[in-house]
Structure 1
Amino acid sequence: MNNGWITKAFIAAGIINLAGVLLFSKGLTNELLWQWDPVLFTPFGLVLIMLWGGAYIAASHRHLQLPWLSLVFAAEKALYVGAWILWMAAHGQQLSSIFEQDWLTGVFFTIYGANDALFMLVFLFAFYRARHSRVKVNQMT
Protein backbone atom coordinates (compact mmCIF):
# COMPACT_ATOMS: atom_id res chain seq x y z
CA MET A 1 0.00 0.00 0.00
CA ASN A 2 1.30 3.44 -0.93
CA ASN A 3 1.87 5.61 2.15
CA GLY A 4 2.54 8.83 0.23
CA TRP A 5 -0.84 10.25 1.17
CA ILE A 6 0.07 9.86 4.86
CA THR A 7 3.21 11.95 4.34
CA LYS A 8 1.10 14.59 2.59
CA ALA A 9 -1.47 14.48 5.41
CA PHE A 10 1.27 15.06 8.03
CA ILE A 11 2.48 18.06 6.01
CA ALA A 12 -1.10 19.33 5.64
CA ALA A 13 -1.64 19.01 9.41
CA GLY A 14 1.53 20.99 9.99
CA ILE A 15 0.63 23.72 7.53
CA ILE A 16 -2.87 23.98 8.98
CA ASN A 17 -1.42 24.34 12.48
CA LEU A 18 1.07 26.97 11.37
CA ALA A 19 -0.94 28.97 8.86
CA GLY A 20 -4.27 28.38 10.58
CA VAL A 21 -3.01 29.76 13.88
CA LEU A 22 -1.54 32.80 12.18
CA LEU A 23 -4.74 33.40 10.20
CA PHE A 24 -7.33 32.84 12.93
CA SER A 25 -5.27 34.55 15.62
CA LYS A 26 -4.58 37.47 13.28
CA GLY A 27 -0.86 37.08 13.82
CA LEU A 28 -1.24 36.17 17.52
CA THR A 29 -3.20 39.38 18.23
CA ASN A 30 -6.81 38.10 18.33
CA GLU A 31 -7.75 38.75 21.95
CA LEU A 32 -11.22 37.30 21.37
CA LEU A 33 -9.67 33.83 21.06
CA TRP A 34 -8.13 33.91 24.50
CA GLN A 35 -11.16 35.66 25.99
CA TRP A 36 -13.32 32.72 24.94
CA ASP A 37 -10.72 30.07 25.78
CA PRO A 38 -8.07 31.42 28.16
CA VAL A 39 -6.58 27.96 28.66
CA LEU A 40 -5.77 26.79 25.12
CA PHE A 41 -5.71 29.86 22.92
CA THR A 42 -3.56 32.44 24.64
CA PRO A 43 -0.56 33.63 22.59
CA PHE A 44 1.59 31.06 24.44
CA GLY A 45 -0.87 28.25 23.66
CA LEU A 46 -1.05 29.32 20.03
CA VAL A 47 2.74 29.22 19.70
CA LEU A 48 2.70 25.70 21.14
CA ILE A 49 0.14 24.68 18.51
CA MET A 50 2.47 26.05 15.86
CA LEU A 51 5.34 24.01 17.32
CA TRP A 52 3.21 20.88 17.06
CA GLY A 53 2.68 21.80 13.41
CA GLY A 54 6.42 21.95 12.91
CA ALA A 55 6.75 18.53 14.53
CA TYR A 56 4.17 17.03 12.14
CA ILE A 57 6.12 18.36 9.17
CA ALA A 58 9.45 17.20 10.61
CA ALA A 59 8.10 13.67 11.09
CA SER A 60 6.17 13.51 7.82
CA HIS A 61 8.74 11.53 5.84
CA ARG A 62 9.55 9.20 8.75
CA HIS A 63 6.13 8.15 9.93
CA LEU A 64 6.80 4.50 9.09
CA GLN A 65 9.89 4.51 11.30
CA LEU A 66 8.22 6.49 14.12
CA PRO A 67 4.94 4.72 14.91
CA TRP A 68 4.88 5.80 18.54
CA LEU A 69 5.32 9.45 17.59
CA SER A 70 2.24 9.13 15.39
CA LEU A 71 0.40 7.79 18.43
CA VAL A 72 1.59 10.79 20.48
CA PHE A 73 0.30 13.09 17.73
CA ALA A 74 -3.06 11.28 17.79
CA ALA A 75 -3.26 11.63 21.59
CA GLU A 76 -2.49 15.35 21.34
CA LYS A 77 -5.24 15.78 18.77
CA ALA A 78 -7.63 13.74 20.95
CA LEU A 79 -7.04 16.19 23.81
CA TYR A 80 -7.96 19.11 21.57
CA VAL A 81 -11.04 17.28 20.30
CA GLY A 82 -12.10 16.64 23.89
CA ALA A 83 -11.47 20.27 24.81
CA TRP A 84 -13.54 21.37 21.81
CA ILE A 85 -16.44 19.10 22.78
CA LEU A 86 -16.38 20.50 26.32
CA TRP A 87 -16.10 24.06 24.97
CA MET A 88 -19.03 23.52 22.59
CA ALA A 89 -21.13 22.08 25.43
CA ALA A 90 -20.41 25.14 27.55
CA HIS A 91 -20.34 27.87 24.89
CA GLY A 92 -21.84 26.50 21.67
CA GLN A 93 -25.05 28.45 22.17
CA GLN A 94 -22.94 31.63 22.15
CA LEU A 95 -21.39 31.03 18.74
CA SER A 96 -23.74 33.47 17.05
CA SER A 97 -22.54 36.18 19.44
CA ILE A 98 -18.93 35.29 18.66
CA PHE A 99 -19.67 35.48 14.91
CA GLU A 100 -21.18 38.94 15.45
CA GLN A 101 -18.03 40.07 17.26
CA ASP A 102 -15.65 38.55 14.72
CA TRP A 103 -16.59 36.06 12.01
CA LEU A 104 -13.06 34.63 11.82
CA THR A 105 -13.11 33.72 15.51
CA GLY A 106 -16.57 32.23 15.07
CA VAL A 107 -15.35 30.07 12.21
CA PHE A 108 -12.36 28.98 14.27
CA PHE A 109 -14.42 27.82 17.24
CA THR A 110 -16.88 26.11 14.89
CA ILE A 111 -14.32 24.03 12.96
CA TYR A 112 -11.19 23.43 15.01
CA GLY A 113 -12.52 20.30 16.73
CA ALA A 114 -13.59 18.65 13.49
CA ASN A 115 -10.21 19.48 11.94
CA ASP A 116 -8.38 17.96 14.90
CA ALA A 117 -10.63 14.88 14.82
CA LEU A 118 -9.77 14.32 11.16
CA PHE A 119 -6.02 14.54 11.79
CA MET A 120 -6.33 12.42 14.93
CA LEU A 121 -7.68 9.66 12.68
CA VAL A 122 -4.84 10.22 10.19
CA PHE A 123 -2.25 9.91 12.96
CA LEU A 124 -3.95 6.79 14.35
CA PHE A 125 -3.93 5.26 10.88
CA ALA A 126 -0.25 6.21 10.46
CA PHE A 127 0.48 4.47 13.78
CA TYR A 128 -1.40 1.37 12.62
CA ARG A 129 0.32 1.31 9.21
CA ALA A 130 3.76 1.80 10.74
CA ARG A 131 3.22 -0.98 13.28
CA HIS A 132 2.19 -3.33 10.46
CA SER A 133 4.75 -2.18 7.92
CA ARG A 134 7.72 -4.16 6.71
CA VAL A 135 9.92 -1.07 6.98
CA LYS A 136 12.53 -1.66 9.65
CA VAL A 137 13.43 0.94 12.27
CA ASN A 138 17.12 0.67 11.35
CA GLN A 139 16.33 1.83 7.80
CA MET A 140 16.25 5.45 8.98
CA THR A 141 18.69 7.23 6.68
Structure 2
Amino acid sequence: MTEKLIRKGFIAAGLMNIVAVLTFSRFFTNEVIPETDPVVMSNFGLLMIVVWGFAYLGTAANYKNVKWVVGTFVIEKLIYVIAWGKWIGSNDISAVYDKDLFAGIFFSVYGINDFIFFVFFIMVFYKLLRNKN
Protein backbone atom coordinates (compact mmCIF):
# COMPACT_ATOMS: atom_id res chain seq x y z
CA MET A 1 0.00 0.00 0.00
CA THR A 2 1.30 3.40 -0.91
CA GLU A 3 1.41 6.31 1.53
CA LYS A 4 -1.19 8.13 -0.54
CA LEU A 5 -3.55 5.15 -0.44
CA ILE A 6 -3.08 4.77 3.31
CA ARG A 7 -3.85 8.45 3.91
CA LYS A 8 -6.98 8.12 1.79
CA GLY A 9 -7.95 5.02 3.77
CA PHE A 10 -7.78 6.94 7.04
CA ILE A 11 -9.83 9.74 5.53
CA ALA A 12 -12.39 7.25 4.21
CA ALA A 13 -12.63 5.57 7.63
CA GLY A 14 -13.17 8.93 9.30
CA LEU A 15 -15.78 10.10 6.85
CA MET A 16 -17.62 6.77 7.02
CA ASN A 17 -17.90 7.05 10.79
CA ILE A 18 -18.93 10.69 10.80
CA VAL A 19 -21.20 10.86 7.75
CA ALA A 20 -22.84 7.45 8.25
CA VAL A 21 -23.68 8.05 11.91
CA LEU A 22 -24.97 11.56 11.31
CA THR A 23 -27.01 10.43 8.29
CA PHE A 24 -28.53 7.22 9.64
CA SER A 25 -29.14 8.66 13.11
CA ARG A 26 -30.56 11.80 11.50
CA PHE A 27 -28.17 13.85 13.62
CA PHE A 28 -29.00 11.78 16.73
CA THR A 29 -32.78 12.18 16.39
CA ASN A 30 -33.51 8.65 15.10
CA GLU A 31 -34.82 6.93 18.22
CA VAL A 32 -34.89 3.46 16.64
CA ILE A 33 -31.09 2.99 16.57
CA PRO A 34 -30.48 3.53 20.30
CA GLU A 35 -33.74 1.73 21.12
CA THR A 36 -32.59 -1.29 19.08
CA ASP A 37 -29.16 -1.59 20.73
CA PRO A 38 -29.11 0.64 23.81
CA VAL A 39 -25.72 -0.59 25.01
CA VAL A 40 -23.53 -0.12 21.92
CA MET A 41 -25.61 2.30 19.85
CA SER A 42 -27.01 4.69 22.44
CA ASN A 43 -26.79 8.33 21.40
CA PHE A 44 -23.63 8.53 23.50
CA GLY A 45 -22.25 5.47 21.69
CA LEU A 46 -23.09 7.03 18.33
CA LEU A 47 -21.38 10.26 19.37
CA MET A 48 -18.27 8.29 20.32
CA ILE A 49 -18.27 6.67 16.86
CA VAL A 50 -18.19 10.18 15.40
CA VAL A 51 -15.28 11.02 17.73
CA TRP A 52 -13.39 7.94 16.50
CA GLY A 53 -14.02 9.24 12.98
CA PHE A 54 -12.28 12.50 13.84
CA ALA A 55 -9.41 10.51 15.34
CA TYR A 56 -8.99 8.65 12.02
CA LEU A 57 -9.01 11.95 10.13
CA GLY A 58 -6.45 13.43 12.52
CA THR A 59 -4.19 10.44 12.04
CA ALA A 60 -4.25 10.44 8.24
CA ALA A 61 -1.31 12.81 7.75
CA ASN A 62 0.95 11.39 10.45
CA TYR A 63 -0.03 7.72 10.81
CA LYS A 64 3.64 6.68 10.55
CA ASN A 65 4.42 8.46 13.82
CA VAL A 66 1.61 6.86 15.83
CA LYS A 67 1.75 3.13 15.11
CA TRP A 68 0.30 2.24 18.53
CA VAL A 69 -2.66 4.51 17.88
CA VAL A 70 -3.17 2.61 14.63
CA GLY A 71 -2.97 -0.59 16.70
CA THR A 72 -5.69 0.82 18.93
CA PHE A 73 -7.84 1.39 15.84
CA VAL A 74 -7.41 -2.32 15.00
CA ILE A 75 -8.70 -3.32 18.43
CA GLU A 76 -11.54 -0.78 18.32
CA LYS A 77 -12.78 -2.03 14.94
CA LEU A 78 -12.51 -5.65 16.04
CA ILE A 79 -14.68 -4.89 19.09
CA TYR A 80 -17.36 -3.34 16.88
CA VAL A 81 -17.24 -6.29 14.46
CA ILE A 82 -17.71 -8.72 17.35
CA ALA A 83 -20.53 -6.61 18.83
CA TRP A 84 -22.25 -6.48 15.44
CA GLY A 85 -21.82 -10.21 14.89
CA LYS A 86 -23.39 -10.96 18.27
CA TRP A 87 -26.20 -8.49 17.58
CA ILE A 88 -26.96 -9.70 14.05
CA GLY A 89 -26.90 -13.33 15.25
CA SER A 90 -29.50 -12.77 17.93
CA ASN A 91 -31.86 -10.16 16.45
CA ASP A 92 -34.36 -9.91 13.63
CA ILE A 93 -33.12 -7.25 11.21
CA SER A 94 -36.46 -7.21 9.38
CA ALA A 95 -38.13 -5.96 12.57
CA VAL A 96 -35.72 -3.00 12.55
CA TYR A 97 -36.55 -2.27 8.91
CA ASP A 98 -40.24 -2.35 9.83
CA LYS A 99 -39.64 0.41 12.38
CA ASP A 100 -37.24 2.57 10.36
CA LEU A 101 -35.47 2.16 7.01
CA PHE A 102 -32.37 4.12 8.07
CA ALA A 103 -31.96 2.09 11.25
CA GLY A 104 -32.38 -1.13 9.27
CA ILE A 105 -29.71 -0.13 6.79
CA PHE A 106 -27.43 1.00 9.62
CA PHE A 107 -27.68 -2.32 11.48
CA SER A 108 -27.34 -4.28 8.22
CA VAL A 109 -24.03 -2.72 7.22
CA TYR A 110 -22.13 -1.25 10.15
CA GLY A 111 -20.34 -4.51 10.98
CA ILE A 112 -19.33 -5.08 7.37
CA ASN A 113 -17.96 -1.54 7.19
CA ASP A 114 -16.07 -2.02 10.45
CA PHE A 115 -14.64 -5.33 9.23
CA ILE A 116 -13.32 -3.67 6.06
CA PHE A 117 -11.61 -0.94 8.08
CA PHE A 118 -10.38 -3.52 10.62
CA VAL A 119 -8.56 -5.24 7.75
CA PHE A 120 -7.24 -1.89 6.51
CA PHE A 121 -5.98 -0.83 9.94
CA ILE A 122 -4.36 -4.20 10.63
CA MET A 123 -2.53 -4.03 7.29
CA VAL A 124 -1.27 -0.52 8.09
CA PHE A 125 -0.29 -1.56 11.63
CA TYR A 126 1.60 -4.59 10.31
CA LYS A 127 3.40 -2.39 7.79
CA LEU A 128 4.37 0.04 10.57
CA LEU A 129 5.62 -2.79 12.79
CA ARG A 130 7.81 -4.10 9.97
CA ASN A 131 9.21 -0.65 9.19
CA LYS A 132 12.43 -0.16 11.15
CA ASN A 133 12.55 3.62 10.60
**Mean alpha-carbon deviation: is it higher for 58-67 or for 25-34?**
58-67
5+ long unaligned stretches in structure 1: 137-141
Paired-residue identity, %: 37
| TM-superposed deviation, 1:62 | 1.3
The alignment of Structure 1 onto Structure 2 pairs a total of residues equal to 133
Is 1:78 the counterpart of 2:78 in the alignment?
yes
5+ long unaligned stretches in structure 2: none
TM-score, scaled relative to structure 1: 0.90
Alignment-derived partner of residue 139 in structure 1: none
| TM-superposed deviation, 1:75 | 0.2
Alignment-derived partner of residue 24 in structure 1: 24
Alignment-derived partner of residue 10 in structure 2: 10
Other structure's SS at 1:96 match: helix
Alignment-derived partner of residue 38 in structure 2: 38
Give the distance between the partners of 1:105 and 1:97, measured in 2 at CA: 10
Q: Runs in 1 of length 4+ with deviation above 6 angstroms?
A: none
Alignment-derived partner of residue 104 in structure 1: 102
Alignment-derived partner of residue 128 in structure 2: 130
| TM-superposed deviation, 1:98 | 1.3
Other structure's SS at 1:27 match: coil
TM-score, scaled relative to structure 2: 0.95
Give the distance between the partners of 1:126 and 1:65, measured in 2 at CA: 12
**Mean alpha-carbon deviation: is it higher for 15-24 or for 57-66?**
57-66
